[in-house]
């Protein structure tokens, strides 16, 4: 498994410069958040929208990034996504890359404003990123990402609903139609997986503790069980 420093320096510089330009153009405060890199030759690339500050102040977020914090490694939803991609899409391997269209972390209300223009600014960088990773098959995470990618002629093998709590009702409905009683202890496997993933990425120990202490301490809620089942089904279908 690779660490973030193995990404081509040009790609990182492009992202940092684009974040600075976005901040100037839109009058916002966004912070470049690197993505984890598992392999240089992924079979799939999961593409979402943009990172969130996760309720942190910009100062705290900067401090976390300086200590090695990476995107998609914070919430239970993040790790459910990783577990299902690892297990059901890639058959027990990290044969995928994960990224956002726009790579500056920001508050949700800021992200919802001028998203189309901002995404357009990032289009060229996304294309370069996919070329760097040998043009893997693409899966959109969320309708905003799906619509932007299809409008700009990116072929997709699948798309899934974003794991935001805003979609919890849809995941509860999915669980109601496809209940699975074996998920009563899945939180234990998810916690073990999250711990192993952060260890493999050589996370700062205090940063790792701050993240893990709030994850998977109890049985999953109904909507998160529905989330797990939906991702399991969609990724299994995409794989087949």
| pLDDT tens-place string over residues 56-87 | 999 999 999 999 999 999 999 999 999 999 99
Q: What is the predicted pLDDT for the residue at 5?
A: 45
Mean pLDDT of 159-182: 94
DSSP structure class, residue 141: E
**H-helix or E-strand spanning residue 216:** none
Q: What b/e sequence results for 93-102 when a residue is b if at least 16 CB atoms lie within 10 Å of its CB, and e otherwise?
A: ebbbbbbbbb
Q: What is the predicted pLDDT for the residue at 193?
A: 98
SS3 helix, strand, coil % of the chain, rounded to 5? 55, 10, 35
CATH number of the domain residue 68 falls in: 3.40.470
**What is the rounded CA–CA span in Å between residue 17 and residue 19?**
5
**What is the rounded CA–CA span in Å between residue 107 and residue 53?**
6
Q: What is the predicted pLDDT for the residue at 113?
A: 84
Confidence check: pLDDT of 100 > 60: yes
Mean pLDDT of 212-217: 97
Confidence check: pLDDT of 30 > 70: yes
Domain count, the chain: 1
Q: What b/e sequence results for 220-240 when a residue is b if at least 16 CB atoms lie within 10 Å of its CB, and e otherwise?
A: bbbbbbbbbbbbbebbeebee
Q: What is the predicted pLDDT for the residue at 7?
A: 60
Q: What is the predicted pLDDT for the residue at 29?
A: 92
Mean pLDDT of 5-15: 77
Q: What is the predicted pLDDT for the residue at 9?
A: 83
Residue 188 lies in domain: 4-239
């Amino acid at each position: 498994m690779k660490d973030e420093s193995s990404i081509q320096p040009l790609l990182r510089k492009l992202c940092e410069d684009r974040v600075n330009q976005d901040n100037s153009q839109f009058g916002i405060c966004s912070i470049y958040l690197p993505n984890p890199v598992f392999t240089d030759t992924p079979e799939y690339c999961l593409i979402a929208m943009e990172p969130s500050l996760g309720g942190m102040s910009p100062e705290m977020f900067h401090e976390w990034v300086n200590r090695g914090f990476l995107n998609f490694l914070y919430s239970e939803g993040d790790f459910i996504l990783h577990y299902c991609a690892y297990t059901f899409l890639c058959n027990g391997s990290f044969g995928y890359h994960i990224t956002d269209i726009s790579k500056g972390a920001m508050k949700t209300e800021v992200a919802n404003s001028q998203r189309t223009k901002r995404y357009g600014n990032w289009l060229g960088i996304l294309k370069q990123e996919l070329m760097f990773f040998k043009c893997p098959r693409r899966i959109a995470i969320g309708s905003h990402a799906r619509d932007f990618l299809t409008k700009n002629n990116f072929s997709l093998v699948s798309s899934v609903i974003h794991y935001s709590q805003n979609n919890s009702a849809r995941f509860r409905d999915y669980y109601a139609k496809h209940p699975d009683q074996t998920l009563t202890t899945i939180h234990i496997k998810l916690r073990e997986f999250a711990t192993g993933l952060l260890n493999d990425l050589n996370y700062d120990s205090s940063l790792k503790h701050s993240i893990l202490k709030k994850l998977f301490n109890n049985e999953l809620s109904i909507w998160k069980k529905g989330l797990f089942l939906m991702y399991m089904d969609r990724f299994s279908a995409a794989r087949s």
